[in-house]
């Protein structure tokens, strides 16, 4: 892999500003609700002028795109970091455990943000579109990574493999988001149906376990 060009100080500051705004927006959405929160409210809470907000994000919903993108891209990059000797299915599982495992406070916080935002997206087409864009971008990154591992240019088979794997992980994360299990999972977590709800076979599972389960259902897929 060729070395990536260094990120300039200006770009790093822009990225930090984007992420600060995204975290502020997510916090306000959770505290006050998506509908009640205006772009101007986000700008004020983030300590930037409204014009600065709109320079980075055209809408309030898109202000959380960096949070979605960070998580979605992280798992695709984890596939790139997986040991070269692993098969594609094993590399994907390794990456899921690496990217979605809630082993640090920062990882837990990020997953909690994603869960809250995904729950809000049920009633917001605009927020669903932001999530879909992040997932699509991650799929394109994964396509490149699978090409690198296979030593081949993107083909129909590679495109299908990237799409199938991305969909499996997305379904796992979305399934976890509608449940009440903590990011790390836990036997005492209950499904969203509450006490007395019938077992679903996934109570207590964290996003990594659910995503890995979805990938396991694809073992018969002809991975490159």
In DSSP notation, 35-101 reads TT--HHHHHHHHT--HHHHHHH-SSSGGGGHHHHHHHHHHHHHHHHHS-TTS-HHHHHHHHHHHHH-
**Highest mean pLDDT of the ranges 127-131, 147-151, 206-210:** 127-131
Above pLDDT 70, what percent of the chain?
Answer: 88
Average pLDDT over residues 193-218: 68
Give the model's pLDDT for residue 190.
36
Give the model's pLDDT for residue 194.
36
CB 79 within 8 A of CB 150: no
CB 75 within 8 A of CB 138: yes
Confidence of residue 5 (pLDDT cuts 50, 70, 90): low
Confidence of residue 151 (pLDDT cuts 50, 70, 90): confident
Residue 82 has pLDDT above 90, yes or no: yes
Residue 13 has pLDDT above 60, yes or no: yes
Give the model's pLDDT for residue 203.
53
Give the model's pLDDT for residue 2.
45
Residue 33 has pLDDT above 80, yes or no: yes
């Amino acid at each position: 892999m060729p070395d990536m060009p260094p990120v300039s100080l200006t770009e790093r500051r822009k990225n930090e500003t984007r992420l600060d705004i995204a975290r502020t927006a997510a916090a306000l959405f959770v505290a006050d609700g998506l509908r009640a929160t205006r772009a101007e409210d986000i700008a004020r809470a983030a300590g930037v002028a409204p014009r600065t907000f709109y320079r980075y994000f055209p809408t309030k919903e898109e202000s959380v795109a960096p949070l979605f993108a960070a998580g979605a891209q992280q798992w695709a990059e984890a596939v790139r970091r997986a040991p070269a000797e692993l098969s594609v299915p094993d590399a994907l599982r390794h990456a899921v455990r690496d990217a979605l495992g809630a082993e640090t406070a920062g990882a837990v916080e990020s997953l909690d943000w994603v869960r809250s935002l995904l729950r809000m997206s049920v009633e917001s087409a605009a927020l669903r579109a932001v999530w879909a864009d992040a997932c699509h971008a991650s799929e394109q990154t994964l396509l490149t990574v699978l090409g690198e591992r296979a030593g081949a240019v993107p083909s129909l088979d590679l495109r299908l493999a990237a799409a199938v794997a991305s969909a499996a992980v997305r379904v796992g994360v979305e399934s976890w988001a509608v449940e009440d299990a903590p990011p790390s999972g836990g036997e005492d977590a209950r499904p969203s149906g509450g006490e007395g709800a019938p077992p679903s076979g996934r109570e207590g599972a964290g996003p990594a376990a659910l995503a890995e389960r979805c990938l396991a259902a694809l073992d018969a897929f002809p991975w490159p």
